[in-house]
Amino acid sequence: MSDFIFSMDIGGTNIRSGFVDEKFQLSDFEISSVKQIFGDNTMENLCELIKHKIGTKKPKAIALGFPSAIDKSRKVLLSTPNIKGLDNINVVDYLESKLNIPTIIDRDVNFLFEYDCYVNNLHDGMVLGFYIGTGLGNVIAVNGKILYGKNGVAAELGHIPTYGMKDICTCGNEGCAELFASGKMLAEIVEKNNYDFKDVFVKNVNDKPVQEFIDMVSIPIATEITILDPDYIIIGGGVTHMEGFPIKKLEERIVYHTRKPFPANNLSIMYSEQNQQNGVIGGAIAAFKKVNK
């Protein structure tokens, strides 16, 4: 059997894919539009796309990261708000029956986290991951094992309720944290204040709305830190990689809102690398762990 994984990071806009060997070296990396799989036959379209990209190669396994809630068995996509046709679908059984290749699926943010833990050599203790993008991604791991919870949907920090907030989230609940602590709120601030989104942290970082946004992002992060007292904290996501993003200010506000003296006075914070390939490699890292057991 071949000693490489075919890995795909499926986002709401793009699909990133490639082959990863056992030394976690990536080859044939490609970025394509997720629109290729949209429609009434999403699973069929996804299967055909995988077949096309694999060609005559025979990977050891296929790893797929989805922007989805996934059941504890890590087979069924429970809900995928931004991609039609990927709700209540047993992806693993379907693809394995069609492709005859072991298939591993997980949340896309978990694959990013796997990569970050690998490059930072974080394999022991409690590690928390916070990924601030369109939404607020979160991962909790203990001694290298990601916590999934009873139903498989643990660490949905972006969907904790916020008192006084009545806006409806894409998940169906009202007042979810990611409505104010993510790129969704940043986009609203930019539009309301006639800012340039690309340069908002370069030109407007000291403006009150932007400073308030940084504070809002820090609150759910500080809440989880206070509850779990982690050994390490990883912060990443597209918003934090925008030019001029005030990392030090975010750290200040996280410490401000975290319980004193501890854990506030002893936080170990590191940052995710900005690279389109990370989720693809992270998916392969997760897949090798499973197929090499």
Q: What tens digit of pLDDT does each residue of 151-206 get?
A: 999 999 999 998 888 899 888 899 999 999 999 999 999 999 999 999 999 999 99
Q: Are 3 and 21 in contact (CB under 8 A)?
A: yes
Selecting from 3.30.420.40, 3.40.50.11540, 3.40.47.10, 3.40.50.1100, what CATH number does the domain 123-271 have?
3.30.420.40
Alpha helices (H) in the chain, listed in sequence order: 42-54, 91-99, 108-119, 183-193, 200-203, 208-228, 247-257, 278-291
pLDDT above 70 for 2: no
Contacts of 115 (CB under 8 A, 6+ apart): 278, 279, 281, 282, 285
**Listed residue (289, 234, 230, 224) closest to 120, CA to CA:** 234
Q: How far apart, in whole angstroms, are the C-alpha atoms of residue 213 and residue 132? A: 12
Whether CATH 3.30.420.40 fits 4-111+276-291: yes
Q: What tens digit of pLDDT does each residue of 66-76 get?
A: 999 999 999 99
Using omega within 30 degrees of 0 as the cis cutoff, is the peptide bond preceding 230 cis? no
State the chain's mean pLDDT as an integer.
94
- pLDDT value for 213: 97
Tokens of 239: 């918003």
Domains 4-111+276-291 and 123-271 share a fold: yes
Q: What tens digit of pLDDT does each residue of 36-89 get?
A: 887 778 999 999 999 999 999 999 999 999 999 999 999 999 988 778 788 899
Residues in the chain: 293
* Average pLDDT of span 16-40: 91
Q: What tens digit of pLDDT does each residue of 268-281 get?
A: 999 998 899 999 99
